[in-house]
Amino acid sequence: MMGETSRVTAFNTSNLRTMPIIVIGALAAVICTIALTGWVLWDSRQTAVSDAFRDSENLATALEVEIRHDIETCDLSLTAVLDGLSLPETATVSPVIRDYILFDHSARAPQYGSIFVLDRHGDLKIDSRGRTPARTNFNQRDFFTAQRDNGDAGLFISNPSKGDNGDWYLMMSRRVVNEDGSFGGVVAGSLRLSYIQQIFSSVAMIPGSSIVLFSTGGKIVARAPMGSNDIGRDISNAPVFKHFPAETFGHYEDVSSVDNAARLYVYRQIGGLPLIVGIGIPKAAVLADWGGKAVFLCSLVTAFISLLGMLGWILNRELQRRGAAERVALESEQRYRLLADHSSDMIVLARGGKRVYVSPACDRLYGYTPEEMKGTAIEAMVHPDDIPAVQRAREEIEYCSEVLVTYRAECKDGHYVWVEASWKKVVECGTGRTDIIIIARDITQRVKHEEALLAARDQADAANRAKSAFLAQMSHEIRTPMNGVLGMNQLLLASGLSLDQRHYAETVATCATSLLQILDEILDESKLEAGMITLETVDFDLAKTVEDAVTILGPRAEQKSLTLDMVLAPAVRGWFHGDPTRLRQIVLNLAGNAIKFTDEGRVGINIAVATETEAATTLRFEVSDTGVGIAPEARSRLFQKFAQADVSITRRFGGTGLGLAISRQLVEMMGGTIGFDSEPGKGTTFWFELSLPRAAAALSAPAVTEQKVIPPNQRRSFDLLVADDNKVNQQVARLMLTHAGHRVDVVDNGLEAVKAVQRKTYDVVLMDVQMPELDGVEATRRIRGLGGVWSRLPIIALTAHAMAGTDTEMLAAGMNDYLSKPFDAATLLSKVERIVVSGGSIRSQEAREDEDNNIASGFDATKLATLRQLTGPTDFEPMVTSFVQALQERVARAVELANEGKLPEAGREAHDVVSIAGNLGAVKLVEVARRLEVDARTDDPDLIRLLAAKLRSETDVLLPKVERFTANAA
Ligand code: ADP
């Protein structure tokens, strides 16, 4: 736990530190990006501007060279004229030679005008083109006055002036100096401005740009683009003059006075002449390209910063989340530590089998301090007997995440405490190291309580067993006198009684029967409570089981003039595997209630198949009535013990309030569900659903449970032995049996019974189970132990024990059947007769087995036995022989007809086979013949051929059995 803590803390701190670093880093990156971008933009802008300046300067230089060249060319012409005028011959030669001397070297390119010479008064003396201008005196013109008034004027360039032809010119003049140095006149020439204009216009410029040639005095000489009044316009206030004449060339930025837009300006003086060429470019146009790039770059940077920002935000959020989680972890760790430190349970962190952290609770638990326990092995202090359990836990924790182990541990003072420890494996992420957190608590008190509880439970179990034994005893004790009461009463009823006496005796019978029913219910409930009811699993005929219940309830329904119906869906007919006795009991309970709580109308028992799978069939039983119904408020308590829906109704109808509770428990024991629907005043439907597997016997032996009744005229008297210690019951049994014509001997206990059977041959022994000296079970064992005929002597147990397992115990002891006390005469006699009829008074075990085999293989020997009873031994054999002959003939005929494809005829033969085979007890044969009879109506010759063949093979199987039975009977 300590290790955990430091790990978590370190993680926290690093995270907390990381965050500002990341934020600062991100901010620095953003700032650097912005700064770099700004610098790049600024630099590229400067480059664009300086490129524009440089290009303009280059252009200005080129223009300056061109203009200076033109002016110099013109000046050279003027100088050549001056040189010519200085020659003395010039004055004497003819004008033609003079002009030749003077103007032969003059420039004749179209941009130049004529050169003319003016005298000292400004009068035109010579014109290079021989023309006479309109004006002949130019003494007012600046190019004349400038030379006249200034002997050092040099080359004078005038302001632009319009020629007579309307063209603009730039006049240039030089002074003619006489030999004496006085002013002799002026030689003047001109440069056509349209030529310069043309050059300017031919330059490809950024739109909005301008080229201007202007005089140092601020007059425009030429301009592109040219405005109508541009030439001669005064621009002496233009910003260029802030720089000129300090700098004869240069550039600057300013706002245009024309359109107020920022411009880049370049100017250059033309040589040493009073002319300046200037170029102005709109700054916006210069920066247009740069602007596009700048926008693109800015977008890129913005996107980058946004991305960075987004990443930063995500990172920040993640860090915050982590921070929060870590804070929570830290808090929770602190809380856990607090909990661990203050928990009353001892908390241990074990690593490599050693305790590395022990919470202070160890002091309370073991009396040791945490320091004393730290470093000790997990097994230390564990009681030597419990060390294997702890070691097992250590092995288990390798595979499971959690293990619970209980052991005794020795405290510091030497006494032992019981400890319950919950071990939890924790795997540290990253290292994969496995630690175990152990939470141990003192459960000594709990163990003591549990031991006390176990002792109490054992006592309770013992008490319960005692109660059950008591109940069994009481049942026996009560049933024994009840047998007397009911038996004697029955005998009394059978005697000649007056009407009143009969009424009294009948009332006694009713009351005694009710008492017995109450007794049965209380006993059943006690048995269920004690878990003493075990379900039987035998093959049984469902229809027969339910019919039994209907037969029992029939008289009660009749007494109340109620209709009692039983509707069985065809699919429920057949044999099932389960407990028929308990099933019948449930039906009896529900249907008995239905009859009890119905004054008029009907009670119906419906059985249908809810679902059917290969493994089991879910049967739905419904018992409906048209009785008083059940109030909604009583619904919830109805299946509880001793619960009754309505006290007043119950008072009217009577009852213990146990029937439904018992039914529910039985249904649930069988894995089913039970419930009901009811409408007060209209009636109730109780239902239950059970899943029962179908039994194989259902297909082949539907007749085996048929009651074997001896026709009254065929009854014979048997020699019977009754063994019972109770005098009243002895008397009841004897009277019941002697009344039926049997001869009865009575003995008081098992020992006497064993002796009696050796003295005389009895048809049946009726053996009470609980007797002094030797009980019925032991007596039966001894009789069977005698061997010979005694091993086959029919013994019926008479028992007042209604406890589970009694029947099995009795059958195991060798008894053939049993009868619960109290019994009535009819049941007693039927049991006796049945046991005799089912194979003779002394049936060998082999004979019984043979019969069982027969039944299983489709032959019910009881049919022939009954036939024998009915016909007597003399007529029996010939009758069987005639049956066998008839059967063989019919079967052979059926096979023949089937092979010939005469289906209806074969069906008719099969019909005859059904009745003959039925008399012989040939169950399987009857089944095949019936199928043939039915299927013969369909047009399927192959099937009929097959069934006919089966008919023959079944007959072949049957005949030896019939023969054997007849031989045995003879
Ligand atoms: P008992 O019938 O002995 O009183 P049960 O447990 O069999 O005990 O039934 C409990 C109560 O349920 C009955 O007292 C009765 O009030 C009610 N009850 C059971 N079946 C019906 C029915 N078919 N119609 C009306 N009420 C019924």
pLDDT digit string, tens, across residues 80-139: 888 888 888 888 888 888 888 888 777 778 888 888 899 999 998 888 877 666 678 889
Q: Which of 602, 625, 621 is nearest to 682 (CA)?
A: 625
Q: If you average pLDDT over residues 276-302, what whole number do you get?
A: 88
The type of residue at 418 is W
Q: If you average pLDDT over residues 689-717, what whole number do you get?
A: 56
Q: Which atom of ligand 1 is nearest to the CA of 643?
A: 10
**Is a pLDDT exceeding 80 seen at residue 854?**
no
Compute the distance between CA of residue 7 and CA of residue 15 in angstroms, rounded to an integer.
Answer: 12
**Before 632, cis peptide (omega within 30)?**
no
Q: Which of 395, 206, 364 is nearest to 284 (CA)?
A: 206
Whole-number Cα distances in Å, 71 to 66, 170, 493, 557, 690: 9, 9, 173, 153, 133
Long-range contacts from 780-785, C-beta under 8 angstroms, 24+ separation: 780/810, 780/813, 780/814, 780/815, 781/813, 781/814, 782/750, 782/754, 783/753, 783/754, 783/757, 783/814, 784/813, 784/814
Task: For 815-869, give the DSSP string.
Answer: -SEEEESS--HHHHHHHHHHHHHTT-SS--HHHHHHHHHHHHTTB-HHHHHHHHH
Q: Which of 91, 139, 119 is nearest to 187 (CA)?
A: 119
Return the higher-pLDDT residue of 428 and 69.
69
Instruction: Provide the angle, in degrees to the nearest 10, between the axes of the packed helices 580-596 and 659-669.
Output: 150
Is residue 434 within 8 Å of 425, Cβ to Cβ? yes
Residue 229: phi, psi to the nearest 5?
Answer: -110, 20
Whole-number Cα distances in Å, 619 to 460, 549, 564, 570, 867: 38, 17, 20, 12, 37
Compute the distance between CA of residue 767 and CA of residue 750 in angstroms, rounded to an integer.
Answer: 8
The type of residue at 703 is A
The answer to whether the CB of 638 is under 6 A from ligand 1 is: yes
Structure tokens at 398: 């390798």
Max CA distance (Å), the chain: 210
Is residue 689 within 8 Å of 673, Cβ to Cβ? yes
Query: How remote is the CA of residue 660 from the centroid of ligand 1, in Å?
Result: 7
Query: How remote is the CA of residue 241 from the centroid of ligand 1, in Å?
Result: 129
CB atoms within 10 A of CB 950: 17
Q: Which atom of ligand 1 is nearest to the CA of 686?
A: 23
Structure tokens at 65: 């060279």
HSE-up of 123 (CA within 13 Å, CB side)? 2
Is residue 271 within 8 Å of 68, Cβ to Cβ? yes
Lowest mean pLDDT among 8-17, 373-382, 509-518: 8-17
Q: If you average pLDDT over residues 183-191, what whole number do you get?
A: 92
The answer to whether the CB of 658 is under 6 A from ligand 1 is: yes
Whole-number Cα distances in Å, 772 to 477, 747, 752: 14, 12, 11
Compute the distance between CA of residue 527 and CA of residue 794 in angstroms, rounded to an integer.
Answer: 30
Structure tokens at 801: 């024990």
Write the pLDDT tens digit of every residue in 793-805: 889 988 876 554 5
Query: How remote is the CA of residue 649 from the centroid of ligand 1, in Å?
Result: 9
**Is a pLDDT exceeding 50 seen at residue 829?**
yes
Compute the distance between CA of residue 829 and CA of residue 819 in angstroms, rounded to an integer.
Answer: 11
**Is a pLDDT exceeding 90 seen at residue 304?**
no
What is the pLDDT at residue 701?
36
Lowest mean pLDDT among 21-30, 119-128, 769-778: 21-30
Write the pLDDT tens digit of every residue in 859-893: 777 777 767 766 666 777 877 888 888 888 989 99
Query: How remote is the CA of residue 481 from the centroid of ligand 1, in Å?
Result: 29
Task: Tell me which H or E stretch contains 686.
Answer: strand 683-692
The answer to whether the CB of 186 is under 6 A from ligand 1 is: no
Write the pLDDT tens digit of every residue in 161-179: 888 788 888 899 999 998 8
Compute the distance between CA of residue 343 and CA of residue 909 in angstroms, rounded to an integer.
Answer: 93
Q: Which of 834, 886, 888 is nearest to 865 (CA)?
A: 834
Structure tokens at 553: 């309830």
**Is a pLDDT exceeding 50 seen at residue 707?**
no
The answer to whether the CB of 663 is under 6 A from ligand 1 is: no
Contacts of 401 (CB under 8 A, 6+ apart): 424, 425
The type of residue at 402 is E
Which residue has its alpha carbon closest to ligand 1 atom 3? 655
The answer to whether the CB of 644 is under 6 A from ligand 1 is: yes
Return the higher-pLDDT residue of 599 and 800.
599
Which residue has its alpha carbon closest to ligand 1 atom 8? 657
The answer to whether the CB of 660 is under 6 A from ligand 1 is: yes
CB atoms within 10 A of CB 734: 19
What is the pLDDT at residue 716?
64
Which residue has its alpha carbon closest to ligand 1 atom 16? 645
The angle formed by the CA atoms of residues 515, 517 and 521, to the nearest 5 degrees, is: 115
Q: Which atom of ligand 1 is nearest to the CA of 660?
A: 6
What is the pLDDT at residue 288?
87
**Is a pLDDT exceeding 60 seen at residue 148?**
yes
The type of residue at 700 is S
Q: If you average pLDDT over residues 349-373, what whole number do you get?
A: 90
Structure tokens at 38: 């700004």
Is residue 886 within 8 Å of 874, Cβ to Cβ? no
Structure tokens at 33: 């990006």
Compute the distance between CA of residue 356 and CA of residue 333 in angstroms, rounded to an integer.
Answer: 17
Q: Which of 591, 510, 609, 502 is nearest to 546 (CA)?
A: 591
In angstroms, the first-to-last Cα distance of the chain is: 96
**Cα torsion angle, 962, 963, 968, 970, sign:** positive
Structure tokens at 34: 């912005």
Whole-number Cα distances in Å, 934 to 469, 570, 906, 937, 938: 58, 17, 11, 6, 8
Compute the distance between CA of residue 783 and CA of residue 704 in angstroms, rounded to an integer.
Answer: 29
Query: How remote is the CA of residue 630 from the centroid of ligand 1, in Å?
Result: 8
The answer to whether the CB of 627 is under 6 A from ligand 1 is: yes
What is the pLDDT at residue 838?
63
Task: For 165-218, give the DSSP string.
Answer: TS-EEEEEEEEEE-TTSSEEEEEEEEEEHHHHHHHHHHS---TT-EEEEEETTS
What is the pLDDT at residue 636?
79
Contacts of 263 (CB under 8 A, 6+ apart): 253, 254, 255, 256, 280, 281, 282, 283
Query: How remote is the CA of residue 593 from the centroid of ligand 1, in Å?
Result: 6
Q: Which of 588, 605, 660, 664 for mutating ligand 1's site (highest number of atoms within 8 Å of CB)?
A: 660
Assign 646 a pLDDT band (cuts: 50, 70, 90).
low
Structure tokens at 591: 């249907």
Q: If you average pLDDT over residues 148-156, what whole number do you get?
A: 88
**Cα torsion angle, 513, 519, 522, 527, sign:** negative
Assign 312 a pLDDT band (cuts: 50, 70, 90).
confident
Distance of CA 241 to the CA centre of its chain: 90
Task: Tell me which H or E stretch contains 158.
Answer: strand 156-162
Write the pLDDT tens digit of every residue in 804-814: 455 666 777 78
Tell me the H-state helices in 406-443: none
Q: Which atom of ligand 1 is nearest to the CA of 645?
A: 16
Distance of CA 25 to the CA centre of its chain: 46
Contacts of 778 (CB under 8 A, 6+ apart): 750, 813
What is the pLDDT at residue 568?
87
Write the pLDDT tens digit of every residue in 241-260: 989 989 999 999 988 777 78
Unique residue bearing structure tokens 């293990």: 403
Compute the distance between CA of residue 729 and CA of residue 732 in angstroms, rounded to an integer.
Answer: 5
Return the higher-pLDDT residue of 878 and 843.
878
Structure tokens at 734: 């004897």
Bridge partners of 610? none
Report the percentage of the chain scoring pLDDT > 90.
Answer: 22
The answer to whether the CB of 674 is under 6 A from ligand 1 is: no
What is the pLDDT at residue 967?
75
The angle formed by the CA atoms of residues 115, 117 and 118, to the nearest 5 degrees, is: 135
Q: If you average pLDDT over residues 405-431, what whole number do you get?
A: 88
Which residue has its alpha carbon closest to ligand 1 atom 23? 594
**Is a pLDDT exceeding 80 seen at residue 523?**
no
Which residue has its alpha carbon closest to ligand 1 atom 21? 593
The answer to whether the CB of 549 is under 6 A from ligand 1 is: no
For the chain, the C-alpha Rg in angstroms (whole number) is: 69
Q: Which atom of ligand 1 is nearest to the CA of 658?
A: 6
Compute the distance between CA of residue 951 and CA of residue 924 in angstroms, rounded to an integer.
Answer: 9
Structure tokens at 736: 């019941």
Task: Tell me which H or E stretch contains 719.
Answer: strand 719-723
The answer to whether the CB of 595 is under 6 A from ligand 1 is: no
Q: Which atom of ligand 1 is nearest to the CA of 683?
A: 24
Query: How remote is the CA of residue 554 from the centroid of ligand 1, in Å?
Result: 19
Mean pLDDT for all residues in the chain:
82
